[in-house]
Amino acid sequence: DETTARRKDAHLDLCATGDVEPAQNSTLLEHVHLIHCAMPELAADEVDLTTPFLGKSLRAPLLVTGMTGGTERAGVVNRDLALLAERHGLAFGVGSQRAMAEDASRTASYAVRDVAPTVALLGNIGLYQAIGMGVDGVRRLADAIGADGMALHLNAGQELTQPEGDRDFRGGYRVVEELARAFGERLLVKETGCGIGPDVARRLVELGVRNVDVSGLGGTSWVRVEQLRAAGPQAQVGAEFSGWGIPTAAAIASVRAAVGPEVRLVASGGVRGGLECAKVLALGADLAGMALPLFRAQQQGGFAGAEEALKVILTALRQALVLTGSRNVAELRRRPRVVSGALKDWLAAL
């Protein structure tokens, strides 16, 4: 209905300009130190970043994680960033398709196949909306945009901070199991900035999930976004919880240790540059994921602005592999690294 779409545009306004990344939050990636190799013995052009994902081959291990759809403005964001992903061989996700499930006329704002015919494309729906629409409803959302896979998002922290949000989180695993059976390798389960830890990841994998985006703490905080929209007691609780979550570095390293190498892991949540991409890959991610930085670059400079930001990220990622003497991500993972400070404490507990 109208309110879903209006809420989406309010979210975009807040994310474009507001303080949605609380300064006290950290991914803890500052506690990961890759080690310099003074004699790399390789050429930058030799570094191989190709990565399989959703049955396709990416040219770089990067996912533009799902953000938006449902309004005209959202449609422009989707098309610019999908085109960017198509041109550079990244994966791309649309945002929650709830708005088009409620009103089919909004489908066009999620449709990117005309500008991104070959991109590895993810649809997106919230777990609790998926419960309502069932497997067939979710499949219809994926088919309507020609998606290669479907992202199922978890956002209990956001819902509890949203005055109109869900309060009952029972029955989630049962739905995940049904969706995993129906979608197989085409299902991805993601958080939205509070992180997936090893216990939840292990259970998801036991139910058949093969792609997980940990989406940890340290970047966009949806609790903060809802805090900024809320008033009164709700806003006060939101303020208290806007630093809640598992930092991205702790989430990705602990989840990789908990699940087998056949599980594709994405690390998003506060990943902001190519060196940080290299760090999450070294910690066990198959892909790095980013939302806010590319969204903001697009809002400020359109497609060209987003492309400029991406080029810096890709150059720095490649540079990190050269300077660690790594020809590819598999070699990067085998290099020694220093893990210091609070990240060590997190990993000792997880």
| Positions that interact with ligand FNR (CB under 6 A) | 11-12, 15, 65-68, 95-96, 124, 151, 153, 190, 192-193, 215, 219-220, 268-271, 290-292, 295
* Minimum gap (Å) between residue 37 Cβ and ligand FNR: 29
Closer CB to ligand FNR, 223 or 329, in the complex: 223
* Minimum gap (Å) between residue 309 Cβ and ligand FNR: 12
∠ CA 299-302-308, rounded to 5°: 105
* Minimum gap (Å) between residue 326 Cβ and ligand FNR: 24
CA R_g for the chain = 19
CA torsion angle for 95, 100, 105, 107 (degrees, to 10)? 40
Closer CB to ligand FNR, 183 or 295, in the complex: 295
Closer CB to ligand FNR, 270 or 284, in the complex: 270
Tokens linked to 290: 């980013």
* Minimum gap (Å) between residue 36 Cβ and ligand FNR: 27
- The count of C-alpha atoms lying within 13 angstroms of the C-alpha of 57, restricted to the half-sphere facing its C-beta, is 3
Closer CB to ligand FNR, 241 or 322, in the complex: 241
Closer CB to ligand FNR, 116 or 277, in the complex: 277
Instruction: Name the residue whose CB lies closest to ligand FNR.
Output: 219
Which amino acid is it at 340?
A: S
| Spatial distance between the Cα atoms of 7 and 347, rounded to a whole number of angstroms | 37
* Minimum gap (Å) between residue 212 Cβ and ligand FNR: 12
| Spatial distance between the Cα atoms of 275 and 277, rounded to a whole number of angstroms | 5
* Minimum gap (Å) between residue 294 Cβ and ligand FNR: 8
| Spatial distance between the Cα atoms of 344 and 245, rounded to a whole number of angstroms | 16
| Spatial distance between the Cα atoms of 156 and 162, rounded to a whole number of angstroms | 10
| Spatial distance between the Cα atoms of 277 and 80, rounded to a whole number of angstroms | 22
Closer CB to ligand FNR, 285 or 291, in the complex: 291
